[in-house]
Amino acid sequence: MFFCLRKKIKYIIVLCLFGIGFFISCYFQKGDSPSDLCPTIDDMVSAKVNMENACLLEYIMRQRTSKPSTFPYYFGDVPKEMLFEVEDPLKSYKNEFTSPWLEALLAVETLVPKRERRTFFECGALDGITFSTTFHLENFLNWTGILIEADPYYYEKLRRRNRKSFAVHACVSPEKYPMKVSFSHTDGLWMSKAGKYTVYNPGVGKVQSLNISMQNPVAPPNSTSINVLCVPVYSILSALKIFTIDLFILDIEGMELPVLKTLPFENLDISVFLIEINRKFGDWKEYFEFFEKKGYVYHGFYQGGMHPGDVMFIKRSLYDAKKLNLTLVEAYKIITGETDETEIHQNRLSSFSAFFMFSSEYNASTSS
């Protein structure tokens, strides 16, 4: 009798263990496990979870990221006036909106050790073609990287382009935790709805969505509002396991410095920064002081037309001014294999005038 009872108990225990194992197996084979064990993104935002939180990283990777495409590029809806971006990379050098990419490329190719495939990070990808700083690097030079776009309309266009890089639908947070911000959209312009400034930038979707400190206290009439998820840059890099970057491009209409301050530089290997600095929205000297403390050297300021201006900073351990002491014609020839001295000099006259003016202002202010 006792023997039979023991046998039944063992049988019941085995069945229970089998049932538990089967349940666990089925649970973790469901579509979104182990996300099912994680809080929702709204809960993570409310809790201000750490930027290395495993659930946040998984959410970014699973729900907010499109992997590099293996399909041909799609140019079907590229505006006619922007077709030069697709057809002739040399013309980009003569276009005031995208010219800094060539100087940045020259710095990377000249100073940064060769890698099997170079990597970029571009925040403000728009549709992946229009005013793109990285399309030529990817299409003609086999770079890859990370493209960030917050505007849902342009993110969908970006996905359809079939770029050979990760595309992330989010804005970047100026804090070390995720947040949600409400933005209004009117007449092709994005702006947020509570803060210090009203920003009307003609760059249509050029990441006004990231501009959380320059928010408009009253949403414009006839506008639509959306909530945009903002996550720390380091969360994106950690989710994609990309910590070595040759060229880091940040163009978020005045919030560049707060975002940069969230980066744990000790965990990253970033060779060259190309940062838009709009002096209207802050003290540009802070950028120089910040990068100097982080071990970077100021290399140049590039400006054209109404563009606020891009500043390049290069890691001090890589910097060699002699290697970059090239004439414009020499630099152009190294990258493109062609020479057009007249157009190069005409195009660069205003840019370098602005550069020298900017440098003299900085030197005068720091020496006083």
Q: What is the pLDDT of residues 303-327, one digit of tens each?
A: 554 455 678 899 999 988 777 766 5
Q: How confident is the model at residue 368 (pLDDT cuts 50, 70, 90)?
A: very low
Q: How confident is the model at residue 140 (pLDDT cuts 50, 70, 90)?
A: confident
Q: Say whether pLDDT at 178 is over 80.
A: yes
Q: How confident is the model at residue 339 (pLDDT cuts 50, 70, 90)?
A: low
pLDDT value at residue 277? 76
Q: Work out the average pLDDT over 171-176.
A: 93
Mean pLDDT over all residues of the chain?
A: 72
Give me the helix-helix angle, 328-336 and 341-367, nearest 10°.
120
Q: How confident is the model at residue 129 (pLDDT cuts 50, 70, 90)?
A: confident
Q: How far apart are the first and last CA of the chain?
A: 99
* Per-residue pLDDT reduced to its tens digit, 184-203: 655 444 444 333 323 333 23
Q: Work out the average pLDDT over 157-176.
A: 95
Does 23 or 61 have the greater pLDDT score? 61
Instruction: Please calculate the CA angle 122-255-305 and round it to the nearest 5 degrees.
Output: 70
* Per-residue pLDDT reduced to its tens digit, 257-294: 899 999 999 999 999 999 887 655 556 788 889 999 99
Q: Which two tokens stand for residue 81?
A: 């006036």
- What is the identity of the amino acid at 231? V
Q: Which two tokens stand for residue 156?
A: 């969908």
Q: Work out the average pLDDT over 41-55.
A: 97
Please tell me what DSSP assigns to residue 265. Answer: G
- What is the identity of the amino acid at 97? F
Q: Are 251 and 123 contacting, i.e. CB atoms less than 8 angstroms apart?
A: yes
Domains in the chain: ranges and CATH: 35-367 (3.40.50.150)
Percent of the chain with pLDDT over 90: 35
Q: Are 134 and 143 contacting, i.e. CB atoms less than 8 angstroms apart?
A: yes
Taking 3-state DSSP, the helix, strand and coil percentages for the chain, each rounded to the nearest 5, stand at 45, 20, 40
pLDDT value at residue 161? 94
Ordered alpha helix ranges (H), the chain: 2-28, 41-47, 54-63, 84-87, 89-92, 100-111, 135-141, 152-160, 233-240, 256-260, 285-293, 321-324, 328-336, 341-367
Q: How confident is the model at residue 72 (pLDDT cuts 50, 70, 90)?
A: very high
Q: What is the pTM (predicted TM-score) of this model?
A: 0.72
Q: Say whether pLDDT at 302 is over 50.
A: yes
